[in-house]
Chain A
Amino acid sequence: MKKILAITLALMMILALAACGSSAAQSSAAPAADASSAAAESSGSAADAGVLTMATNAAFPPYEYYENNQIVGIDAEVAAAIAEKLGMKLEIEDMDFGSIIAAVQTGKVSMGMAGMTVTDERKQSVNFSDTYATGVQVVIVKTGSPITDLDGLKGKKIGVQESTTGDIYATDDFGESNVERFPTGADAVLALTQGKVDAVIIDNEPAKNYVAANQGLSILSTEYTKEDYAICVSKDNTELLDKINTALKELTADGTLKSIVDKYIPAAASSSAAADAVSGATSEPSK
């Protein structure tokens, strides 16, 4: 009995050391490891340590998604390019879309980049960079569905990704009781294929991805307002915001931004739309 106890305790201790060692390695930003010490520093501290932490919801192709055990996509690559320009290392944190702004506000991460639309409401909590891409909300339905335009959605069950502008539009236009919120767009589309919802309202590029990955889905031609995607930064961290905007301007000027977008969105129409968006930095934010 004593031997078993001794061996078990020894194993526990080894495991504990291994776990602490690996968790220390995972948090390669030194400030992040000192969770128990100092009170909330300004979010600039995460950036100052040479690491640019980015919050995203990696279930939003082609902007961010998992491939080969890594997070890739337009946002991931643009962020990497920005980090390079700033001479910092990029670290991407996957989380619920609704948690991104809170994470940026509390300084958990330096910036949030998740195909996030600039809205007045969000601007109250965080600052947004210049627009780097545009999107538009579209409706996905099963092919052959009786729904052909936005009016047809009245009274139907609409699936959305929670906290996105799709969620906001659906709730405003069709009522709380008709909207079903899912953690990711893919979950909403899965529900659509299973007939649990009648339509899904989500950004057009991910919609194209989801439709291509499934059979029997189509996108309605009616669209909502065009939206601007931007990077959100804490209101305290104006320094990082300026640096990001400078980096974005440089990336636009040397064509890197366009080439990244084109790599993931091969249609000429979308790439020119993105070019229009970044050259005209001020656009009306959608509600």
Chain B
Amino acid sequence: MAVWWNNLVKKFVLCFIDDNRWMYMAKGLAVTMEVTLMALVIGLLLGIVVAAVRSAHDQQGSELSGAGGFLLGLANGICKLYLTVIRGTPMMIQLMIMYFVILVNTTNKTLVAMVAFGINSGAYVAEIVRGGIMSIDGGQSEAARSLGLGYLPTMRFVIIPQAIKNILPALGNELITLVKETSIVTVIGLGDLTKGATIIQGRTFEAFLPLLAAALVYLLIVVLLSWLMGKLERRLRAGDRH
């Protein structure tokens, strides 16, 4: 028993304390969080815009005519193309295409990762937001119209506030997925948390401890995020019980 424990301590020291190896993981964690948060911001902005276009077209498309209708139809087409392509290709390939083909001149891997994950996240956020908007009972918008509210005020005062409650759980899921998805940036050589673990593994030939440590850190982040999302949802639901 004591031998096992001593062995574990020795391996722990080898993997993390020697040569300051824990810093590979610490720096990697900073990179992971940086990429995740920026990608989330980009994804939210992109997703909300795309969702707005898509739901506007689906709810109203038949009513509009002329230049406005045509533009909306065109925008809708572009959005649909974006969604199909981004949701239809693997994230790793998107990332590699972004790094080796599109942004071919830069070696700023963090920026490339942020952009690639942001664009990818945007597609999924768009569908989540659109789903949330569409899930609101048609009666709500009818009632709003009967009160004389136009399309935009209806969305702003009636539909979106209700839709947010539906959107938030799925959005939280997307954020959690994003955090873990960023682990594939090692294919472009970006030093994130996972790469930190693989560097340590490569130097020490110990697979167990570095990988376990990385997994635990991801787990902690996800648990924290889930807890925060839970709090937010509870606050929002507080108004429902009246």
Q: Which of A36, A69, A193 makes the CB contact (< 8 A) with B24? A: A69
* Residue in A38, A41, A69, A193 whose beta carbon sits within 8 Å of that of B20 in the complex: A69
Q: Which of B91-111 contact A (CB under 8 A)?
A: 100, 103-108, 110-111
Q: Is the CB of A35 within 8 A of B105?
A: yes
Question: How many angstroms between the C-alpha atoms of A109 and B37 in the bound complex?
Answer: 28
Q: Please, which residues of chain A bring their CB within 8 A of the CB of B34?
A: 15, 19, 22-23
| Complex interface bits, A169-195 against B, C-beta within 8 A gives 1, otherwise 0 | 000000000000001101101100100
Type the 1/0 row for B37-53, where 1 means its CB is closer than 8 Å to any CB of A: 11001000000000000
Interface centre among A23, A34, A183 (most CB of B within 10 A): A23
Instruction: Report whether B199 and A33 are in contact in the complex, using a CB–CB cutoff of 8 Å.
Output: no
B201 neighbours in A (Cβ, 8 Å): 186-187, 190
Give the distance to chain A from B185, nearest Cβ to Cβ, in Å.
11
Residue of B whose beta carbon sits closest to that of A33: B108
The 8 Å CB contact of B105, one of A19, A31, A65, is: A31
B27, B110, B112: the one within 8 Å of A69 (CB): B27
Contacts of A187 in B (CB 8 A): 201-202
A224-268 at interface with B (beta carbon < 8 Å): none
If A4-B232, A19-B34, A27-B108 touch, whether A59 touches B202 (CB-CB below 8 Å) is yes
Known interface pairs A69-B24, A184-B202; A53-B105 also in contact (CB < 8 Å): no
Pick from A67, A96, A103: contact of B187, CB under 8 Å: A96
Roughly how many angstroms separate A41 CA and B19 CA in the complex, as a whole number?
A: 40
User: What is the distance, in angstroms, from A160's C-beta to the closest C-beta of chain B?
Assistant: 15
Q: Known: A27-B111, A35-B112, A109-B107. Contact between A190 and B205, CB under 8 A?
A: yes
- In whole angstroms, how far apart are the Cα atoms of A214 and B206 in the complex? 10
Residue-wise, chain B 171-204 has the 8 Å CB interface mask toward A (1 for contact) of 0000000000000000111010000001101111
Q: Is the CB of A23 within 8 A of B202?
A: no
Residues on B with C-beta less than 8 A from A38 are 105
The secondary structure that dominates the B interface is helix
Contact assessment for B110 and A99 in the assembled complex, using a CB-CB cutoff below 8 Å: no
B189 touches A95 (CB 8 A): yes
Contact status of A16 and B105, CB under 8 A, knowing A69-B27, A96-B187, A96-B189: no
Determine whether B114 belongs to the interface, using a CB cutoff of 8 Å to chain A. yes
Q: Does A222 contact B (CB under 8 A)?
A: no
Within 8 A of B (CB), among A75-133: 91, 93-96, 99, 102-103, 106-109
Within the complex, the shortest CB–CB distance from B191 to chain A, in Å, comes to 7
Does A221 belong to the interface (CB within 8 Å)?
Answer: no
Q: Which residues of A contact B242 (CB under 8 A)?
A: none
Contact with A94, one of B23, B106, B187, B189 (Cβ below 8 angstroms): B189
CB distance from A107 to the nearest CB of B (A): 6
Q: Which of B100, B105, B236 contacts A40 (CB 8 A)?
A: B105
Known: A1-B236, A19-B38. A27 touches B106 (CB 8 A): yes
Q: Does chain B have a CB within 8 A of A74?
A: no
The residues of B that contact A33 with a CB separation of less than 8 Å are 106, 108
> Which residues of the other chain, B, contact A35 by a CB distance below 8 angstroms?
103, 105-106, 108, 111-112
Say yes or no for B156: interface residue by CB 8 A criterion.
Answer: no
Contact in complex: B187, A106 (CB < 8 Å): no
Q: Give the residues in chain A near B189, CB-CB below 8 Å.
A: 93-96, 99
Query: In the assembly, what is the distance between CA of A103 and CA of B104, in Å?
Result: 8
- Tell me which residues across on chain A come within 8 A of B199, comparing CB atoms: 58-59, 66
Report whether B205 and A23 are in contact in the complex, using a CB–CB cutoff of 8 Å: no
Q: A19-B114, A96-B189 are contacts. A32–B203 as well, Cβ < 8 Å?
A: no
Residue A6 interfacial (CB < 8 Å): no
List A residues 9-60 near B (Cβ within 8 Å).
12, 15-16, 19, 22-23, 26-27, 29, 31-36, 38, 40-41, 53, 58-59
A186 engages B205 (CB within 8 Å): yes
Give the contacting residue for B104; candidates A16, A26, A40, A53; CB below 8 A. A40
Chain B positions within 8 Å of A214 at CB level: 205
Q: Can you list 18 residue pairs at the A/B interface with Cβ under 8 Å?
A: A15-B38, A15-B41, A19-B38, A23-B34, A27-B107, A35-B103, A35-B106, A59-B199, A66-B24, A66-B199, A67-B19, A67-B203, A95-B188, A99-B189, A109-B107, A190-B205, A213-B204, A214-B205
Interface residues of B (CB under 8 A from A): 19-20, 23-24, 27, 34, 37-38, 41, 100, 103-108, 110-112, 114, 187-189, 191, 198-199, 201-205, 207, 232, 235-236
